[in-house]
Amino acid sequence: MLLKAVQSQRRFEQVAEQISKLIKKGKLNPGERLPPERELAKQLEVSRPTVREAMIALEISGMVEVRVGSGIYVLNTSSPDLKLRNNTIDIGPGPLELIEARKEIECTNAALAAQRTGTDCLERLEKAIEKMVHDNITGADGDREFHLLVAKATGNSVLETLTAYLWNQQQHSPMWTKLIELMQEKNLHTIVLDDHQCLLDSLRQKNSEEAQAIMRTHLNHARDIYFDLIGEEEN
């Protein structure tokens, strides 16, 4: 199997596209087991987490099946349901891209919101956290509501619009959805719940510096969880 070293930020997407082309050309057949992640990483000159991201993308696209304890196997690619566009993997923005962009916007949101948040908004933020607890997950609805409320509290319509756009991108990202599923499986939702409560406390205290730091820590937690999940050792 001939694979080329990849470059640029979205390395996982390039890895996924190379393997998808081999599958579509019949050089990797349905039922065939892919080489181990360590071997793929060496051939492609990327890290194993990057290979794992690529496998998640291929799994989402319906091109491979991940069998725990066995390996990764090629699926029949004749299905019209494959999420491909012009023979490339169509998975939208990756979690790391989304987190990076959100940090640039939402840390500023938190600092401004601490200065401008009113009593009514604080009450609504509390209810959003309660919704997350009630859902007993990472709180897709409550989480989105919380962060959009923080953006609204800035009083800056541009920041509010940018935040909503990023959350819409996130909501429609198959890779992000997969991250949420993995977090649920590992019962990691309590980490993000605690972050939200700490942020709310800092907003109540009108502490801009602390609110900004907590938001940054919160998004770093999301990034670190993702790295942990895709970096777990394979069998």
Maximum Cα–Cα distance for the chain, whole Å? Answer: 62
Give the angle subtended at the CA of 91 by the CAs of 87 and 93, to the nearest 5°: 130
Give me the residue spans of the domains in the chain: 11-89, 95-230
Digit-coded pLDDT (tens) for 23-70: 888 889 999 999 998 899 999 888 888 888 888 889 888 889 988 788
Does the structure show a pLDDT above 50 at 87?
no
Give me 20's structure tokens.
């998808």
The residue ranking higher by pLDDT, 134 or 137, is: 134
Average pLDDT estimate for 73-78: 84
Residue 77: which of 29, 146, 128 has the closest Cα?
29
- The per-residue pLDDT for 1 is 59
pTM for the model stands at 0.75
- pLDDT per position as a tens digit, 162-212: 999 999 998 888 878 777 777 777 666 677 788 999 999 999 999 999 999
| Predicted pLDDT at 74 | 94
Query: How buried is residue 142: exposed, middle or buried, by Cβ count under 10 Å (0-12/13-18/19+)?
Result: buried
Pick the CATH number of 11-89 from 1.10.10.10, 3.40.1350.10, 3.30.70.270, 3.30.450.40: 1.10.10.10
Alpha helices, DSSP H, located in 6-139: 11-24, 37-44, 48-60, 95-116, 119-135
Q: How many CB atoms lie within 10 A of CB 182?
A: 17
What would the mean pLDDT of 73-92 be, rounded to a whole number?
A: 63
DSSP letters of 150-200? HHHHTT-HHHHHHHHHHHHHHHT-HHHHHHHHHHHHTT-HHHHHHHHHHHH
| More reliable by pLDDT, 137 or 169 | 169
In angstroms and rounded to an integer, the radius of gyration of the C-alpha atoms of the chain is 20
pLDDT tens figures, 99-120: 999 999 999 999 999 999 999 9
Q: Which DSSP helix (H) or strand (E) runs through 65?
A: strand 64-67
Distance separating alpha carbons of residues 198 and 152, to the nearest angstrom? 19
Instruction: Please tell me the predicted confidence (pLDDT) of residue 86.
Output: 45
- Separation CA 141–CA 211 (nearest Å): 22
pLDDT band at 12 (very low <50, low <70, confident <90, very high): confident
Classify residue 28 as left (phi > 0), alpha (psi -120 to 50) or beta: beta
Cβ proximity of 229 and 182 under 8 Å = yes
In CATH, the number for domain 95-230 is 1.20.120.530
